[in-house]
Amino acid sequence: MSILRVEPLTTARALRGPFDYRQPAAMDELEVGSVVRVPFGPRRLLGVVVELAEVSDLPPERLAEPIEALEAGAPAELVELGLWVAREYCSTPSRGLQLVLPPGTGTGGRTVRSKRELRAEILPAGEAALSGGERLGVKQRAALEALSAGEMSAPELAAAVGADRAALRRLETRGLIASRSSRLRRAPGASGLRAPAKRPDLLPEQKDAVAAITQALDGRRAENGPISPGIGPSAPSFLLHGVTGSGKTEVYLAAVEAALERGRGAIVLVPEIGLAPQAVARFRARLGDRFAVLHSALSAGERYDEWRRLRSGEASVCVGPRSAVFAPVRDLGLIVIDEEHDASYKQEGDPSYDARTVARKRAADSGAVLVAGTATPRPESWLELPRLELPNRVDGRRLPPVNLVDMREADPRSGPLHPDTWEALDAVRAAGAKAIVMINRRGFAPWLTCRSCGHHWGCPNCDVSLIIHRHSGRLVCHHCAHIEAAPRACPQCASTTLSQAGAGTERVEQLLAERLAPMPVFRLDSDTAAARGAHASILAQFGEAASGVLVGTQMVAKGHDFPEVTLSAILDADATLRFPDFRAEERTFAMVAQLAGRSGRGEAGGEVIVQTLAPGSASIEHASRHDSAGFLAGELERRRLLRYPPFSHLVRVNLSGEHEPKLESAALALATELRRALPSDSDLLGPAPMFRVRNRHRRRLMIKAADRERTVTAVRTVVERRAADRSLRELAIGVDVDPQ
Ligand code: ADP
Ligand code: ZN
Ligand code: ZN
């Protein structure tokens, strides 16, 4: 007898498998990774086969059999990876497995399947019947005539000659045609951005980088990989360090082609895919049929079919955002992480995995080479990975000069743009060129108050201020779904003199349009890019315009390349510095440097303006000199002194609940329990209060650990015990390993 060990797909933390089932003789194709529907008490659940065994601890009569097997399951090595993620990020096996299953294999609802269609072709007997004047109905004859020109699908036949399924069946019974059900591919549409398929001759530095990667590919499990905590010796890994426009994407493409030549597949991770339509278009153009793309903006059917194409080996390169690290690419030879500093590689929900860490684990397990590329490396990559340098822009142009504009001296009444910035924009208009303006807040203005009584509009559910969205005439909370109509008068004193303060993308858009007309202004933020395809289409419009300004949030700093841009300006460079977070400097540096990279890509050269209240901060100062090595040296020294990553590991425990005193005492109790369980060389800070969101009060515990594995294990054990405690049921406890 064969036993299937099945992990149920459920959201309940307490329900933990695997559970044993008997393998029915009729389901002998089941293997590790198969998805089955199983009886579970009175219910039916989906589950994943995580192990095959000969014997069970349970007596045979207590073993049930699966009811059915779904069409597709995950490969065995990905089942292992999913379970590893669950352990490493203190999540449940079910949530870990969910990441590696075919898209649409939900815990509830309908599961996605292949779409099939009936296709018919004419047989020799059919040809003979047509010419031999055999007795045929009108529709039957029309169908045979249509098919004599070539194979057709049932819907096509119905549309062409009105032959329905019954007519086809009769023809088939008479042996005149053959029909088969064939899988239909739901193919994701291209973005409309065109990219050249031509392969340029690589520059010497690019060649060197590709050679190093190729050598590592040929060496398979080379010994030179760094040792990573929780992962062990990793596969050969590289940091491809090059300013924007230095030809990194060409190196990725050549490396992918080298992997394909060796019969191996590749995964290319890009920041949230909406943000990189140009990169995706380039990969699609170069790789043709072997290219697959996986991301959340695809329909469920498209995602499922792309996944199946990878699983079957029909496609062997997957491009996608963080979740593509779980793509079922066969014989994986290469993982590329583009813009490796990007925060979107960290998942916010449970499991809060970091795709960069998972990529290292997966590369190590499959003997694949890892290439992380960026202009602004993370301190951890700078410290740990051997570097491949692309020091110059491909076109030989120098990086644009960066002018720091000190906003402390500016008159606050003159608005969000400094006179110097206006002057530079006027010059862009005069020259018929293009500019990019970035402000890190969407909406019109972040602050609405009553002039007479001082009433301030805040979110009723969160301790934050409501943001004015003038375009939709609403006040919106950016932390929860709260929306209300923009007021005409104060609810406290009925005064109609309300004052708006601060600026967001909508306001800057308006100011620019007023002053720079008739130059067109395009706004790109998550409001204008919400519709499917809107992101790419806004970029395309900006690209096609003769001249113009692109204004928006961080989105405008990513994943595009417009040679006519001669000015980029960032209006609130230090907004990120105000967050109380050890990564604030790193993030600010990356943001300023990335935006700087968008300017001066063409013959007209370019410049960058950085408006800041903190011109002396290390991140802004180094970014203005395009000096990542200098910044990283200082930043690593600071982290070493403060014992922050990469010199320690952080684990955060987040608690939230509606009842504040209960939350507070639970947080204190959890902190005490954790202090007892943690290894002695780790420190626990907190509980610290966080601002209320969605009517939930929040507390945070932060653990600085030297020994990652022992710390994670201790936290997991304690949190699981607490999660099972019924008296704490209304509290939510989440663990974030390596928080961002
Ligand atoms: P990055 O990814 O570092 O920003 P890209 O690979 O996008 O750089 O290259 C910037 C531009 O230079 C692109 O338009 C690309 O097609 C072009 N390019 C890259 N490498 C070469 C090369 N060896 N010869 C000519 N053009 C190149
Ligand atoms: Zn008032
Ligand atoms: Zn809110």
Q: Which CATH number belongs to the domain containing residue 657 in this structure?
A: 3.30.70.600
Q: Which atom of ligand 1 is nearest to the CA of 253?
A: 6
Residue 710 Cα to ligand 1 middle (Å): 45
Are the beta carbons of 440 and 671 closer than 8 angstroms? no
470 in a domain, yes or no?
no
604 in a domain, yes or no?
yes
In whole angstroms, how far apart are CA 681 and each of 232, 643, 672, 706?
Answer: 21, 12, 16, 6
In whole angstroms, how far apart are CA 544 and each of 73, 434, 533, 540, 563?
Answer: 44, 11, 16, 6, 12
Residue 397 Cα to ligand 1 middle (Å): 12
Domain endpoint, select from 39, 64, 98: 98
Q: From the CB of 373, is ligand 1 less than 6 Å away?
A: no
466 alpha carbon, closest ligand: 3
Encoded tokens for 182: 């064939």
451 in a domain, yes or no?
no
Residue nearest atom 17 in ligand 1 by C-alpha distance: 247
Q: From the CB of 281, is ligand 1 less than 6 Å away?
A: no
| DSSP H or E run through 686 | strand 683-693
Closest CA to 570 of 740, 430, 400, 447: 400
C-alpha–C-alpha distance, residues 223 and 227, integer Å: 10
Look up the domain containing 56 and give its range.
3-98
Residue 16 Cα to ligand 1 middle (Å): 50
Do 304 and 215 share a structural domain? Answer: yes
Are the beta carbons of 469 and 525 closer than 8 angstroms? no
469 in a domain, yes or no?
no
The reported pLDDT for the residue numbered 311 is: 94
Q: From the CB of 374, is ligand 1 less than 6 Å away?
A: no
Q: Which amino acid is at 318?
A: C
Residues making up the chain, counted from first to last: 740
**Segment 330-389, tens digit of pLDDT:** 999 999 999 999 989 999 888 999 999 999 999 999 999 999 999 999 999 999 999 999
Encoded tokens for 312: 């079957």
> Could you tell me whether strands 607-612 and 565-570 are parallel, antiparallel, or unpaired per DSSP bridges?
parallel
Predicted TM-score (pTM) of this structure: 0.86
The reported pLDDT for the residue numbered 109 is: 53
Do 370 and 246 share a structural domain? Answer: yes
453 alpha carbon, closest ligand: 2
Q: Which amino acid is at 343?
A: A
Domain endpoint, select from 66, 98, 130: 98
Q: How many domains does the chain have?
A: 5
Q: From the CB of 338, is ligand 1 less than 6 Å away?
A: no
Do 406 and 385 share a structural domain? Answer: no
The reported pLDDT for the residue numbered 369 is: 96
Q: From the CB of 195, is ligand 1 less than 6 Å away?
A: no
Domain endpoint, select from 98, 132, 154: 98
The reported pLDDT for the residue numbered 233 is: 56
Residue with tokens 């995580």: 50
C-alpha–C-alpha distance, residues 476 and 193, integer Å: 33
Residue nearest atom 26 in ligand 1 by C-alpha distance: 200
Do 586 and 555 share a structural domain? Answer: yes
In whole angstroms, how far apart are CA 457 and each of 441, 463, 494, 690?
Answer: 17, 11, 14, 20
Do 308 and 385 share a structural domain? Answer: yes
483 alpha carbon, closest ligand: 3
The reported pLDDT for the residue numbered 196 is: 67
The reported pLDDT for the residue numbered 194 is: 61
Do 121 and 85 share a structural domain? Answer: no
Do 527 and 591 share a structural domain? Answer: yes
Q: Which amino acid is at 531?
A: A
Q: Which CATH number belongs to the domain containing residue 60 in this structure?
A: 3.40.1440.60
Residue nearest atom 23 in ligand 1 by C-alpha distance: 202
Put residue 598 in one of left, alpha, beta given phi > 0 → left and psi -120 to 50 → alpha. Answer: alpha
Do 721 and 572 share a structural domain? Answer: no
276 alpha carbon, closest ligand: 1
C-alpha–C-alpha distance, residues 100 and 105, integer Å: 10
359 in a domain, yes or no?
yes
Residues 6+ apart with CB under 8 A from 320: 267, 268, 269, 270, 273, 293, 294, 295, 327
Do 353 and 215 share a structural domain? Answer: yes
283 in a domain, yes or no?
yes
Residues of the chain below pLDDT 70: 1, 13-14, 106-111, 189-197, 220-234, 273-277, 559, 579-580, 601, 604
The reported pLDDT for the residue numbered 132 is: 79
C-alpha–C-alpha distance, residues 135 and 148, integer Å: 17
The reported pLDDT for the residue numbered 220 is: 47
Do 577 and 435 share a structural domain? Answer: yes
The reported pLDDT for the residue numbered 110 is: 62
Do 416 and 275 share a structural domain? Answer: no
The reported pLDDT for the residue numbered 221 is: 44
Residue 141 Cα to ligand 1 middle (Å): 58
Residue 462 Cα to ligand 3 middle (Å): 4
Q: Which CATH number belongs to the domain containing residue 244 in this structure?
A: 3.40.50.300
Residue 481 Cα to ligand 3 middle (Å): 6
Residue nearest atom 20 in ligand 1 by C-alpha distance: 247
C-alpha–C-alpha distance, residues 617 and 636, integer Å: 15
The reported pLDDT for the residue numbered 222 is: 43
Q: Which atom of ligand 1 is nearest to the CA of 250?
A: 6
Q: From the CB of 561, is ligand 1 less than 6 Å away?
A: yes
Do 325 and 412 share a structural domain? Answer: no
Q: From the CB of 599, is ligand 1 less than 6 Å away?
A: no
C-alpha–C-alpha distance, residues 305 and 313, integer Å: 12
153 in a domain, yes or no?
yes
Phi, psi of 409, rounded to the nearest 5 degrees: -90, -10
462 in a domain, yes or no?
no
Q: From the CB of 673, is ligand 1 less than 6 Å away?
A: no
**Segment 287-343, tens digit of pLDDT:** 888 999 888 778 888 888 899 999 999 999 999 999 999 999 999 999 999 999 998
Q: From the CB of 651, is ligand 1 less than 6 Å away?
A: no
